[in-house]
């Protein structure tokens, strides 16, 4: 009887191990979310920063403290883009979900930050995250763009980041059913044949209490539908469809020049978030 129980425990342990090993690989995305990317006038904005798997609503990863959070703005007819450091506004956040407490961050920006008309490119540089299941570090240079009042500015200008996605059409003015085009860049130069992952933010963030909605907006037919994977062409260019309103994350994988951190492999990724509107 005792031997049977021991064998039963071994079988349970083996089943749990196999379940972990053969779980579908889900894409990591650094979220940089605000409620509205196209306000008609300057407004105070709240930002939610969470390292997660957007299509599946988790699991979430503990995010290291941001190394940089800033904006680059082209306000109206200003001759040169202006850079404003926003790190002073960043606050740690204990994000609560079914899996427990996850380290995340938030930022509440006053109206003075985006009071003028034009484009505002928000850039988040988190510290590298160690992914133990892959035995490597991940660092995602993440951008979300806001336009105030419909006056275009520097949305098509590269930021010179180690890894980034340069828009070829406005990233803040996209209709459901349209397409988005971009170029994968590393230190300002195109990355041929870059691997790109795309995910839909399937759970609505609530900025009042910094949570994600429990109910998924789209039921995935199968796990592979959660992460769409494509490759850029020889010039680093790509095109994706936008079949549903909401937020879409685009991530170009392992394109940065730095490939090692603290003796481990480092993947420097470029992430861009798009807010897509319903054409009614």
How large a percentage of the chain has pLDDT more than 70?
89
Whether the pLDDT of residue 23 is over 70: the answer is no
73 touches 120 (CB < 8 A)? yes
Output the pLDDT for position 11. Answer: 43
* Entry pTM: 0.89
Output the pLDDT for position 25. Answer: 52
Residue range 213-228: mean pLDDT, rounded = 93
How many angstroms separate the CA atoms of 226 and 184, rounded? 22
Whether the pLDDT of residue 277 is over 70: the answer is yes
Closest to 271 (Cα-Cα) out of 123, 87, 95 = 123
Query: What end-to-end distance do the CA atoms of the chain give, in Å?
Result: 67
| Average pLDDT across the chain, whole number | 90
Output the pLDDT for position 75. Answer: 57
What is the number of alpha carbons within 13 Å of residue 69 lying toward its C-beta?
A: 24
Output the pLDDT for position 16. Answer: 34
Whether the pLDDT of residue 270 is over 80: the answer is yes
Please list, in sequence order, all residues whose beta carbon lies within 8 angstroms of the beta carbon of residue 127, skipping any fewer than 6 positions away: 64, 65, 66, 67, 139
User: Lowest-confidence range among 2-11, 59-68, 103-112?
Assistant: 2-11
Whether the pLDDT of residue 22 is over 80: the answer is no
Q: How confident is the model at residue 94 (pLDDT cuts 50, 70, 90)?
A: very high
Output the pLDDT for position 8. Answer: 44
Secondary structure of 248-279 in the HEC alphabet? EEEEECCCCCCCEECCEEEEEEEEEEEEEECC
Output the pLDDT for position 14. Answer: 38
How large a percentage of the chain has pLDDT more than 90?
80
Whether the pLDDT of residue 138 is over 70: the answer is yes
Please list, in sequence order, all residues whose beta carbon lies within 8 angstroms of the beta carbon of residue 17, skipping any fewer than 6 positions away: none
Q: Peptide bond before 218: cis, by omega within 30 degrees of 0?
A: no
């Amino acid at each position: 009887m005792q031997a049977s129980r021991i064998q039963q425990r071994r079988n349970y342990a083996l089943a749990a191990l196999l379940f972990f090993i053969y779980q579908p690989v889900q894409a990591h995305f650094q979220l940089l979310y605000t409620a509205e990317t196209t306000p008609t006038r300057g407004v105070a904005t709240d930002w939610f920063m969470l390292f997660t798997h957007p299509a599946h609503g988790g699991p979430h990863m503990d995010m290291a403290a941001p190394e940089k959070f800033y904006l680059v703005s082209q306000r109206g007819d200003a001759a040169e883009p202006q850079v404003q450091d926003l790190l002073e506004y960043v606050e740690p956040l204990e994000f609560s979900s079914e899996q427990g407490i996850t380290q995340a961050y938030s930022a509440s920006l006053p109206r003075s930050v985006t009071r003028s008309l034009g484009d505002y490119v928000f850039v988040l540089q988190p510290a590298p995250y160690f992914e133990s299941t892959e035995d490597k570090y991940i660092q995602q240079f993440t951008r979300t763009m806001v336009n105030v009042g419909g006056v275009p500015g520097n949305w098509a200008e590269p930021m010179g980041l180690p890894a980034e996605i340069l828009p070829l059409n406005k990233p803040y003015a996209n209709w459901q059913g349209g397409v988005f085009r971009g170029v994968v860049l590393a230190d300002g130069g195109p990355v041929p044949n870059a691997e790109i992952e795309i995910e839909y933010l399937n759970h609505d963030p609530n900025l009042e209490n910094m949570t994600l909605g429990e109910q998924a907006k789209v039921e995935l037919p199968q796990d592979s539908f959660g992460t769409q994977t494509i490759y850029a062409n020889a010039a680093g260019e790509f095109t994706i469809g936008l079949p549903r309103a909401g937020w879409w994350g685009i991530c170009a994988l392992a394109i940065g020049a730095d490939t090692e951190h603290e003796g481990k492999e480092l993947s420097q990724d470029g992430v861009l978030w798009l807010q897509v509107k319903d054409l009614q």
